[in-house]
Amino acid sequence: MRTPHGEVLTPSFMPVGTRAMLNYVTTEDLHNSGSEIILGGNTYHMLCTPGMEVIEKIGGMHRFMGWPKSMLTDSGGFQVLSLSKNGTICIVDEDGAHFKHPMTGKIIHLNSKTSIQAQKIIGADIIMAFDQCTPETGGREAALAALDRTHRWLVSSKEEHEKQPHSAYGFKQALFGIIQGGSFRDLREQSIEFILKQDLDGIGIGGEVIGFDMPKTCEIIDWVRPMLPEDKVRYTMGVGLHPQDLIDVVGRGVDIFDCVAPTRNARHGTLYYGQIIERDGWLAFENEGDNCRILIKKSQYAKDENPILPGCGCYTCQHFSRAYLHYLFKEGLIAYFHLASIHNIHVMQSVCTKMREIILHAS
């Protein structure tokens, strides 16, 4: 996958910097982990702060974050789902979402046009059509309503994008549509048919269930895969709670994925621990212990001289012991959050590296 900011070898995991940063991780750490693309700057959060004026003045999100490689940004559609659960913060109607600014109280109108306009200023290489993320509560009626809105907003997003296919900084941006339809196979198939007619650059698979419920996520991918063209990038939105999740979706034909979980897990004391095993022509992430993770707060690690994961090439494992990380975590020291996040991101990228190797070998 070639973007204005470089080549991305897929499958590729995108670390998430929702607020124009990855918590406790520098862009140098991302580079050292092997990251080639990130999700940088969610449109809703960037509208709230620092605002489009600041980002445009600096010259776009790449410069603002100090990230020279490829970037995807989110349209803000997921916030339509999460924040609309509280009617005092966000109200959704046919024209989009009306948010109340969390600090100033100012009303922000986010819709298919304003989302695309903001993403032009953000300047990501890949931008997403504005959608309504399908909730898992509400049944078929809610799923169908979200699907209809997503399709209407996709047409409007594409029209706005085609007025100026380039970012505010002169390079061409790729536009992806998002398959919705919840856990209903016929709605997912309807959504694919509609999106394919729009002839977009790539296709996202969205909805509240994706990444949250992995058995259902895999089932939905199996439904839609036969209909997906070979020449379009496939993106499962929000997948990456565990290393095995990446292996599962790539085995079903997915190219890219993002998730906040690796850094969030790290901050809460959950560190990835396992080996990448070849089995039946594909891979698995396994270990004999506690669900492929270490809970560093446990007293058993207080005097443990081993690295988090023996053989891991990340900076943390190369220089520090479990005992030291246990101490930092128990004391609540910032150094822990940094070192733990480095490790978890590195493991995710190591899984991607191994998947690319086995795919190339098979071909």
CA–CA dist 124, 43 (Å, integer): 11
Residue type, 46: M
Q: Which one of the listed residues 74, 245, 248, 255 is annotated catalytic? A: 74
For the question of residue 201 being annotated catalytic, the response is: no
Closest CA to 139 of 183, 95, 169, 105: 183
CA dist., res. 122 & res. 57, Å (int): 11
Q: Is 74 designated active site?
A: yes
Q: Residue 51 is encoded by which pair of tokens?
A: 């605002």
Q: E-assigned strands of 6-103? A: 6-7, 12-17, 37-40, 70-72, 90-93, 96-100
Give the closest residue to 238 by CA, choosing from 264, 268, 273.
Answer: 264
CA–CA separation, 105 vs 189, rounded Å? 40
* Longest CA–CA separation in the chain, Å: 61
> What phi and psi values does residue 155 have, to the nearest 5 degrees?
-60, -45
- The active-site residue out of 125, 131, 255, 258 is 258
Residues contacting 5, CB < 8 A, separation 6+: 62, 68, 69, 70, 71, 125
Q: What six digits make up the tokens of 60?
A: 């776009």
Rounded distance, CA 192 to CA 194, Å? 5
Considering only CA atoms, which of 182, 177, 184 is closest in space to residue 228? 177
Residue 9 phi/psi, 5-degree rounding, is: -85, 130
- Residues with a catalytic annotation lie at 74, 258
